[in-house]
Amino acid sequence: MRTSVRLPAAALVAPTLMLLASTPLLAQTLPSNPVPYQSIRGNAPTVPNTTTPSVPEGAVTVDVYSRDYEGEKSASEHQYDNRVLSGHVSRNARAGALEGGWVVTNATGQGLVALQLRGGASPEGAWRSLENTAAYNRSGLVERIVTGTDTLRIDYKGAGKTYQLDLQKETDRRWKGILTDSSGGRTAVTMTAQ
């Protein structure tokens, strides 16, 4: 039969502390004054190299580089470039005049709502309130966008209300109209591109 003896923790800690106290520390001694930075390769301070490197004879420097290192493009490279350009033009054509960021301000110029719209055949967007209120739901998705020739209606919900922007086009990047909320409030507004 085997028996084990449990020693109190103090019986183990005291001898360990005595052993540590009697052993010299291996820590590095610190200098009493600041020491200048020394190079790894030697004891001399490192000085940055301020000399201009020499240019080998016949080398082309950046200043005289003519930027025609690739030569003529192959037929497949021209086709690739044309496809990229065509895609870019097509994307811009689908974007529509509403594409981008917009800010809706009141008559005094105070920002009410920021809109990020994506135009095209079926416009969509997101909104964010710019008013300094503690209301919840200060951003969200636009519920509906209805476009006409020179008219625009944007509906969105937030902070327990529904909002309707009815706008008339002034210029390509500026619309004027009324912001109506579900509690009956009506505000004259201007929407401009950011």
Mean pLDDT of the 62-79 span:
76
Indicate the pTM of the whole model: 0.53
Residue span of the structural domain in which 145 resides: 100-193
Total structural domains within the chain: 1
Lowest-confidence range among 7-21, 27-41, 85-99, 161-175? 7-21
Bridge partners of 128, per DSSP, are 114, 139
* pLDDT attached to residue 115: 94
Do the beta carbons of residue 55 and residue 61 sit within 8 Å?
A: yes
Phi, psi of 31 (to 5 degrees): -70, 155
| 167 contacts: CB under 8 Å, gap ≥ 6 | 151, 152, 153, 154, 175, 176, 177, 189, 191
- Reply yes or no on whether the pLDDT at 153 is more than 70: yes
Structural domain includes residue 18: no
Query: Which range among 54-58, 93-97, 180-184 has the greatest average pLDDT?
Result: 180-184
pLDDT for 173 equals 85
**Domain contains 168:** yes
CATH assignment at residue 120? 2.40.128.120
Tell me whether residue 156 is in a domain. Answer: yes
